Structure 1
Amino acid sequence: MVGLGTIVNVAAIIIGSIIGYYINDRFSKTLQESLMTAIGVALLVIGISGVIVRMLRVSNGRFDTQGTMLLILSLVIGTLLGEWWQIDLTMAKLGTIIRQKMIYFRKDLDHSDNLFIDGFVSATLITCIGAMAVIGSLQDGLTGDSTMLLSKSLLDLITCIVLSASLGIGVLFSALPVGVYQGTLTLLAYWLSPFLTAQLISDLSLVGSALITALALNLLWEQKIRVANMLPALLVPIVYSLIQFLVEKL
């Protein structure tokens, strides 16, 4: 069934967030910080390995790199667009709006605006970007194989338990952008399968892995990298692939 992976993924985020929110009192501050560090380490390893796998190649017994210029251009152009569009600020405003709506239902909501927004934004970035979200959604749309998204769902379940225990119920609402993002990718893959080459999927995964690495740096060393403003970098490989396709047709 096309789209099953995204449905399960959204459910896993909701369930994990609820569990984490209601067991947060069993997590000491030190344990919460340690678990957040563990997630940061895992993301750092996943991000770096994803970049290495797609950039390094062996040619005639020698290591060579590929996709370096595309990666640089994607991050630079994507960041310029993201800063122009102020995606980070938009996500923060969206988090504020969601929290204000929540107050109508939960008068006892005791988390600050910043904590709620941090939970929403951090969880959205962790669950949306990266190779598994991109490739898994594309595979789901192209072949109906949701195996990778089901594996991602398990990871997101655990991640959201930890994040929600530390950052509160804002984490739960990351299910909304994940559903829209992965669902859109799946539908596009289903409709535009003739244009989705293996090289394009690899390029998207490369850029996604770089963004995951930047996110890991934020979690581990409290850097202020505005990863949300780098998200348009994922559009650059698509535009590049489209230009290549048009040139070949001329």
Structure 2
Amino acid sequence: MGRSRVVRHDGRRAALAFLIVSLLMTLVTPLQAQEAPKTATKGRSLNLVALGDSLTAGYGLPAAAAFPVQLEAALKARGHAVAVANAGVSGDTATGGLDRVDWSVPDGTDGVILELGANDMLRGTDPAVTEKALDAIVARLKARGIPVMLAGMRAAPNLGLDYGKRFDAIYPRLAERYGLILYPFFLDGIAGDRSLNLADGLHPTRDGVAKVVTGILPSVEDFLTRLRKGS
């Protein structure tokens, strides 16, 4: 009888322990399931579109050397989960970008790096026309809930002081108007350097694009931080 009671008590204790563990598992598992999506959402990859002209498209370069590709690689090397689509069209003006912005920037885009205006400047287009088109692009993207980062351009000296002042003022004014992150001059450190440009003197080489990426990278990282915060 004594041995039988011991066996029964041990059996009851084992059953009770199993019941407690089972109850704990049913409580913990739903909590884990609820927390997992939050982590996944926070760390999800961001989809950027580089909307621009030949400087974005990678004129005269292999596809792998274009600005969006090199930028994406540099960002990933710094631990950012991001994809950068190339929406550059050689020869495009700000007005041309406005004409195609709706289909060049698909739904699901988290942010746009806007690089347009160089061809307007080279053609001597009235800066008011360029600014109006760029303003409309930003406004249209904002209406779709897509934030914009602005990559600025500067006028060539041979266009004169008056034109230069009017053109160069476009980008800071737009950035202030819409609260945009601005990289003031896309070709900073590249313009005029023959070793970093193709024979035409206008388009960066692979190394020139790499230098563009190095220069713009901190601003793009600030942009990503803003996107992650949802502002």
TM-score using structure 2 length: 0.29
Higher helix share: 1
Higher relative contact order (CA 8 A, sep 6+): 1
